Structure 1
Amino acid sequence: MSTRLRTAGPFAAVVVASLFVLFNPASATPTVWPGIDKLVHLTLFAALTLTGRRAGLSPVGLVAGLVVYAGASEVLQGLLPIERTADPLDAVVDVVGIAVGLLIDRRVRR
């Protein structure tokens, strides 16, 4: 297996998983307990950041792209007919997840 596939593959897989998680209809999204969606958002964006850095993406470009993705995903959740609502707090938690991912990445690289 090529090095590029080993490093970019996990990032691509997390991107696909994020599309599923963020744009799945509300009726297909289980709610285990209130607030779990915030933990999911934080974890998802931390994973996007970690795998993106592992794939060799620059921190500045990756963060910029993920911040745009966070905001756009919330806008789209409010506009698409998937019975979901836009929640600005989710986008804030996404950005916190990005920061957590960067901190973990920095720690792992040391």
Structure 2
Amino acid sequence: MPNRVRVPRWLLWVAFIGAVAVQLYGLYAPDAPGPDAGIPHFDKVGHFSIFAAVAVTGTWLCFSSWWLGLALVIHAGASEVLQTAFLPHRAGDPADFVTDLIGIAVGLWVGHLTRRMVAPRTSDC
């Protein structure tokens, strides 16, 4: 078993809150943030990343994977509906939703693989 990094719990919270803030900005900014890089469907990288980041950091904080995953799946679906209904320059996309789900699954998996190395030693999730 690799040695733990022993990241302070407050720093894990900063990472989690930062990931959530980036996710909310990415999903609800009036215009799609970031360049499209001229690559079709490049926004899928952003969708995957922002959901995976929240899942990983939430797992490091020992959130229940079941509840965290459920909350993220609900948020992924709701965000696509909200973009269509309330953001005139944005549109919901079923492919974005599927990409979000893949990001959630990979994020939870990576979080579980790395949690014991990152979580504070007093934390036995």
Structures share fold, TM-score greater than 0.5: yes
Q: 2:112 and 2:15 mapped to 1: Cα distance?
A: 18
The question of 1:15 aligning with 2:20 is answered yes
Residue type of the alignment partner of 2:13: A
Q: Gaps (5+ residues) in structure 1?
A: none
Would the aligned equivalents of 1:8 and 1:54 in 2 still touch at CA under 8 Å? no
Identity within the alignment, % = 39
1:46-103 CA-to-partner distances (Å, cap 9, x unmatched) read: 1110011112211011000000110011111101134100101111110100111122
Report the number of matched residues.
108
Higher helix content, 1 or 2? 1
TM-score for both structures, normalised by structure 2:
0.78
- Deviating above 4 A after TM superposition, structure 1's stretches of 4 or more consecutive aligned residues are none
Residue type of the alignment partner of 1:52: G
Would the aligned equivalents of 1:23 and 1:82 in 2 still touch at CA under 8 Å? no
Q: SS where residue 26 of structure 1 aligns? A: coil
The question of 1:84 aligning with 2:96 is answered no
C-alpha displacement of 1:26: 2.4
Q: Gaps (5+ residues) in structure 2?
A: 1-7, 117-125
The question of 1:51 aligning with 2:51 is answered no
Pairwise CA RMSD of aligned residues?
1.7
TM-score for both structures, normalised by structure 1:
0.88
